[in-house]
Amino acid sequence: MAAPGKSPISIPFEGVSGPIPTSVLLAEMLRASEKVSDLIFSPGRPPQVEVHGQLITVEIPGASALTADDTRRIAADLIGTNKQAISTLREQGSCDVSYGLRGTARFRVNVFIQRGSCAIVMRVIPTEIPTLRSLRLPPQLGEAAHAPSGIILVAGGSGTGKSSTLAALIDLINSERSYHILTVEDPIEFLHKHKKSTVHQRELHSDAPNFRLALRAALRQAPRVIMVGEIRDRETLEILLEAAESGHLILSSMNTVDASKTIERIVGSFSAGEQQLVRERLAKTFRCIIAQRLIPLAGAGERIPVVEILKSNSRTRDCIEQGERPGRTILDCLKVGETEGMQHFDAEIAKLVRAGLVDPDTALCFASNATVLGQELARI
């Protein structure tokens, strides 16, 4: 693999032998590395791919950079005839679509307007469903797939692998249980085949106009498992709580940094007068909160997932229902619950430093509490 900033591949483009088809351009860019996570098109820059969090430039003979016309043409090819996406782009300045290269890869595409021109970011979605093992995730996460009902949340920042973890959990259920599984996604990412379960996947805009209507309809479509790609608003939260209370198993994700902040985000989505009731409902229905971070390995140019796991037990339910207080914080629950398979970020990061897999300075950058972790590492 070429180093970041170097040019791993060289391809023809507009100005050399006419505009190269978008599908050919994407296929060639994927050849930069087996670990390409994103493709980026920006006016004034050559096409770029992201590998292990670092951008690699793709040089184009005869053209030093993409023009606004280039990115507009690529965006039009990716959006195609999706009228809803076109309307959203015009009205809101960005839109999400999915795009597939037959037999090669699928992409989650975001087209957005910047400085009056189009820019594009494409997340690569593997054609094969990942497993917990292939993602290097703790094996105890598989227990979440055995929950008969309730809410399982995967938390983390953008690009930390939340969608992959959800896909692995859905595939595990699909392989082991004879359930009806329904997903609502914006857009559909991993394509699930029917195994023991029957899986129906609905994409916003093409299959349903919005999350609210799709989820209300889902409650009448007899699913045992409902997966929502991401919780973005209070209305979605309300419907999912209702579904969990009625016996469904709910899987979803949130852009939050850890288990504690995930609970704060959920409770804070409701008014002050509603928050105690929401705490009580969440305490009864949550089964597991999985928070993820990707940390660079020492000298390897790769990243490894670090996972925080909060499970439902009497102590964690009490902490959620009554709120955090001295001696009863989420972190306290995680530490006490280690014998039950719970774990917290800083302890897992410290293990990686002890094993020589992560540099101490890098560890502190990804710590929840850098001061406390620093003191711990000083004793190693």
**For the chain, domain boundaries:** 22-125, 139-343
Confidence class for position 12, pLDDT limits 50, 70, 90: very low
Q: Report the 10 Å Cβ neighbour count for 219.
A: 15
Name the pairing type of β-strands 198-203 and 180-185: parallel
Contacts of 34 (CB under 8 A, 6+ apart): none
pLDDT at 3 over 80: no
For residue 102, give both structure tokens. 């037959």
Phi, psi of 204 (to 5 degrees): -60, 145
Looking at residue 2, its pLDDT comes to 39
**CATH no. for 22-125:** 3.30.450.90
Task: Find tokens 């096409």 and name the residue.
Answer: 47
Q: Please state the pTM of the whole predicted model.
A: 0.84
Phi, psi of 173 (to 5 degrees): -65, -45
pLDDT, average across residues 71-91: 94
pLDDT at 206 over 90: no
- The mean of the pLDDT values for the chain is 91
Contacts of 117 (CB under 8 A, 6+ apart): 43, 68, 71, 72
Looking at residue 5, its pLDDT comes to 43
Looking at residue 355, its pLDDT comes to 95
- What is the C-alpha separation between 107 and 127, in angstroms, rounded? 10
Looking at residue 53, its pLDDT comes to 86
Q: What is the 3-state secondary structure (H, E, C) of the chain?
A: CCCCCCCCCECCCCCCCCCCCHHHHHHHHHCCCCCEEEEEECCCCCCEEEECCEEEECEECCECCCCHHHHHHHHHHHHCCCHHHHHHHHHHCEEEEEEEECCCEEEEEEEEEECCEEEEEEEEECCCCCCCCCCCCCHHHHHHHHCCCEEEEEEECCCCCHHHHHHHHHHHHHHHCCCEEEEEECCCCCCCCCCCCEEEEEEECCCECCHHHHHHHHCCCCCCEEEECCCCCHHHHHHHHHHHHCCCEEEEEECCCCHHHHHHHHHHCCCCCCHHHHHHHHHHHEEEEEEEEEEECCCCCCEEEEEEEEECCHHHHHHHHHCCECCECHHHHHHHHHHHCCECHHHHHHHHHHCCCCCHHHHHHCCCCHHHHHHHHHCC
Cβ atoms of 58 and 4 within 8 Å: the answer is no
For residue 313, give both structure tokens. 């037990």
Q: Higher pLDDT residue, 92 or 299? A: 92
Model pLDDT for residues 282-309, shown as the tens digit of each residue: 999 999 999 999 999 998 779 999 999 9
- Least confident residue range of 99-103, 201-205, 260-264: 99-103
Confidence class for position 61, pLDDT limits 50, 70, 90: low
pLDDT at 4 over 70: no
- What is the C-alpha separation between 138 and 143, in angstroms, rounded? 10
**CATH no. for 139-343:** 3.40.50.300
Cβ atoms of 302 and 296 within 8 Å: the answer is yes
